[in-house]
Chain A
Amino acid sequence: MRPKQVAFGLGVLVLVVLPFVLSDFRTVQLATVGAYFIAILGLDVLTGHSGQISLGHGAFMAVGGYTTAILMANHGVRDLVTIPIAAAVAGGIGLVAGVPALRLSGLYLALATFGIAVVLPTILKKFDHFTGGSTGITLFGKPTQTGHGVGVWGLTNNQWLYVLTWTIGCALFLFAWWLLDSRFGRSLRAVRDSELAAAASGVNRAKYKVLAFGVSAAFAGVAGALFAINVAYTSPDTFPITLSLYLLVGAVVGFFGSIWGAALGALLIQFLPDIVGLIPHVDPKQGGPTTFFFGLVLVVLMLALPLVLRVASRVANRGYLGAR
């Protein structure tokens, strides 16, 4: 067994055990973490491996979330069925967005994708007959909701959401793992490291960059769909610009765009606000300090984590974990 396979096995084991030891509410929080996990996996493919920065992944999540919400609420489509559709719609839009992205790189691409994330909530509010406007769409208790908010197979509703999200999360992780280990992944990394060298070796630069955008957006679409199903509600404010920023931070914190750190980044997005509330003399009811500490912790993590990881990888390379 390779260390990575062992790590994956352990990860799955932890996921199976957690609902038995955690309260019902923590379980559903972890389901939300699962949605972030999937979005970060997508961002890992795009940013970590093809080197394209996206500050707009919250927007692709919104596309997925709204696809699910509109289909469930207005067209009688069962929630499970909407997930692949959300992936397809978001992926399609990702492919389209990937074409102009070819002409942009680095900071310019970051700004362009940032623009998508800024504009999307406004667009959602503009077409309110279709999207429910700023009131949003409530999915709770809709007949298309699996378990009708009560639960299935003897699971509570929260446990069911956990099982659903993390089953899909694990499957997509395996898919991403396979994909990045294949010719596709190698081509992406070649393009990331040197476009010229990649082109000289016969890698179609444009094709792979656009495909990376599409795959990545499809992941985000699934994440958005699961987020909408988990919360059973969606509105334009569900996917604010800060979500896109947090996702990128999550991807960076998770070992700089490696899919192996996605869970860490996802946990950070969900629980950092709670942890900030534990700091003595910080009243989480006052807005200012919470926001301040959130920023501070992020800065410290971004500065400290590379160091920790460098030390860790040095230890690992000495054969402690038998890595490589």
Chain B
Amino acid sequence: MTRNLCALALAALALAGIAAASTSGTPGVSSTTITLGSSGPLTGEAAAAAGVLRGAEGYFKYVNARGGVNGRKIDFKYLDDGYDPSRTVQNVRQLIQQDNVFALFSVVGTNGNLAIRDFANASGVPTVFSASGATTFGKEYAKYPWTIGYLPPYAEEGQLYAKHILATNAKKAKIAVLYQSDDYGKDVLAGFRKGLGAKARSLIVQTVGYDPTASDVQSQVAQLKASGANTFCIFAFGKFAIQSFVYANKLGWKPQIYVNDVASASSIMLLNPQSTAEGAISILWGKDPATPKFKKDAGTALGAKIVKKYIPGGNPSDGFLIAGMAEAFSMVDALKAAGKNLTRKGLMNAVTHMNEANNPFLVPGVKVHTTPTFRFPIASAQLQRWHNRHWEPFGGVQSAKL
């Protein structure tokens, strides 16, 4: 009996192996489908960021319902890595070797993307529009030709805040910075320093890093307040950003706050004590559905429609979903441009020749523009100020030198 079962199991596994091996031509592309793969934190502390994947999935379904791309439907398969880069590596190995994906799309997280970069490039699999703003993904294209990011580079974001401080309070600013001590946090801080230029030494009175596995940042915030600063830069993620507002409020500290993009979704800002959050400044590139200015916008309406129809349980005012749709819109554009005879090389050619001004999910004026030697799809952003429980964009769309 056991022997029979074993034989049966072995036969089944062998069949599964044959079935998986019988794709031909470009992996992940058949006459009717294009298979894309991804990995992100569907569970764990960073799970909110997985909204990017759900938003993209929703947009792909919307496109599929309208005939797909060049007659092919997009099959988007994403796996959970709990924000653990070694699981990202294993997921990507599965996606490439087992699921035969055509390309990796919007893999979430800086560390995860760093961990898979060597393997994906050695395998010659496009790793396109990664959900990370680490500057390295746009800069090191000579070494990693198959990799390209999407979000505004963190270094640029830092520069935009620096520019604003220099323009508004260059004489009296005393700046305190809280940053996550990993590649992402250090990247924003480096850009910020670069933006302040020669003034960085005199204006920044203190910088304090925190470990992303720490439980809270109370002592760091207290330390920063004690420095006598009147400007507080929060280059932090998730709960740490919220804690920064909460502790500043508890300590009775009322600085001008700059909070980075990854922690500035309206849904998160509403959790902060409003007396402290009032007047905070951040950047904006995707349309935040909760911003009054975009409430009646066509892109926001399309986003809400997609959420309602294709993303069960999704919150239409979740900025992560819209960001995912923006990425998916650009991906569909690239797949269209890569043509009917779809190859991996053709896709890379398309994503490095983007010229997209009509992405409905991006702030007007923010364009997706790349060349083979300029690989920052979104290299511009607008500043916004938190006022009366919502963001108000101000100034024009601007960019910085990278």
Contact = CB atoms under 8 A, between A and B. Distances in A.
Interface of A: 17, 21-26, 28, 32, 121-122, 125-126, 128, 133-136, 138, 140-141, 149, 158, 231-238, 240, 284-288, 290-291
A33 B17 CA distance: 19
A288 B284 CA distance: 31
A22 B12 CA distance: 10
A145 B86 CA distance: 17
Nearest to A287: B43
B119 interface: yes
B364 interface: no
Interface of B: 10, 13-14, 16-17, 20-21, 42-44, 47, 54, 78, 80, 83-86, 89-90, 93-94, 97-98, 110-111, 114-115, 117-119, 122, 181-183, 211-214
Contacts of A28: 93, 97
B97 A25 contact: yes
Contact of B111 (A22, A134, A149): A134
Contact of B122 (A23, A149, A234, A236): A149
Contacts, number: 104
A23 B86 CA distance: 21
B42 A286 contact: yes
B182 to A, nearest CB: 5
B21 A25 contact: no
Given A21-B17, A125-B211, A134 B182 contact: yes
B238 to A, nearest CB: 14
Given A287-B42, A287-B43, A25 B84 contact: no
Contacts of B80: 284-285, 287, 290
B85 A237 contact: yes
Most buried by B among A22, A134, A231, A234: A134
A67 B20 CA distance: 37
A163 B295 CA distance: 59
A129 to B, nearest CB: 12
Closest 8 CB pairs of A and B: A287-B43, A25-B98, A238-B86, A237-B84, A25-B97, A140-B118, A23-B17, A134-B182
Contact of A231 (B89, B117, B212, B214): B89
A58 B20 CA distance: 34
Nearest to B81: A237
A238 B16 contact: no
B237 to A, nearest CB: 12
Given A285-B42, A285-B80, A135 B182 contact: yes
Residue in B110, B115, B118, B122 whose Cβ sees the most chain A Cβ within 10 Å: B115
Contacts of A135: 85, 110-111, 114, 182-183
Contacts of A134: 111, 182, 211-213
